[in-house]
Amino acid sequence: MNKQRVLFLCTHNSARSQMAEGSLRSMAGHRFEVASAGTEATGVHPLAIRAMADVGIDISRQASKTVDTLLEQPWDHVITVCDRANERCPAFPKTTRRLHWSFSDPTQATGSTDDRLNVFRRVRDEIRARLTDWLETTSVERRGGISMDVVRLAEKFGKFNDAWSPKVVGEVNGMHVKVVKLRGEFVWHHHEREDELFLVVHGRLKMQLRDGDRELGPGELIIVPRGVEHCPRALTEEVHVLLLEPAGTLNTGNVQNERTVAELERI
């Protein structure tokens, strides 16, 4: 599948555009090539890095750069995320779609470090919400030119062997359809904003909950509401599960460890 190319622009390429770049790559990197730039370049803001790390997205290796260095490249979408960048945005080819999303500048926040970090987190969440809406729109726009293929779950499960690493096999209304293999026990965690649907395809699963466990077999599903702490555990040697959850949902939720998968593979 040919990926569309998206460029986010803000003034200094230090916070808003960097968070937008990292967010879209995490939410739909299988569909888009993503970059960011600024009318000036000052470096990635440390609090932007911390705010994104809170949701399991590492932007510490992203670089601040000026838009001049990217003008010769083809872009399907150029999205300005601050008013000043929108006013000073250079001309792109007519085939490039221009969008403007206005977010307040978190680098102008005052107060303690925690106060300022909370502003970065708020803007991060606003960007993510806008991206979620936009992804739904672009899915509708491209529907006329996309084939509706049958997804054969047995074939998909046969393509990988690693456990606890979800793979994206489809998307619907801003939701990712994922498949994952489970072995042993996962980690206790919860999701602040996302509900999750677990459908067992093969094996037996115990969903451990603080108010009592639930056991599932093939053809049975459970929906874990947002905020509910849970810990999946395989009761058989291996369990195959289909997941349905909002794009960008981190598999370990509020916990970050060696099982955290920030960049999802599409198969």
Whether 148 has a pLDDT exceeding 70, the answer reads no
**What CA–CA distance (Å, rounded) separates 21 from 38?**
12
| Torsion angle of C-alpha atoms 218, 219, 220, 225, degrees rounded to 10 | 110
What residues does 183 pair with on adjacent strands? none
Residues whose CB is less than 8 angstroms from the CB of residue 1 and which lie 6 or more positions away in sequence, other chains included: 30, 31
Q: Which of 89, 99, 163, 209 is an active site residue?
A: 89
Average model confidence (pLDDT) across the chain: 89
231 is catalytic: no
Residue 10 among the catalytic residues: yes
Tens-digit pLDDT profile for residues 193-251? 899 999 999 999 999 999 999 999 999 999 999 999 999 999 999 999 999 998 888 89
Give mean pLDDT, residues 124-138. 88
pLDDT of residue 97: 83
pTM comes to 0.56
- Catalytic residue (choose from 82, 135, 242, 247): 82
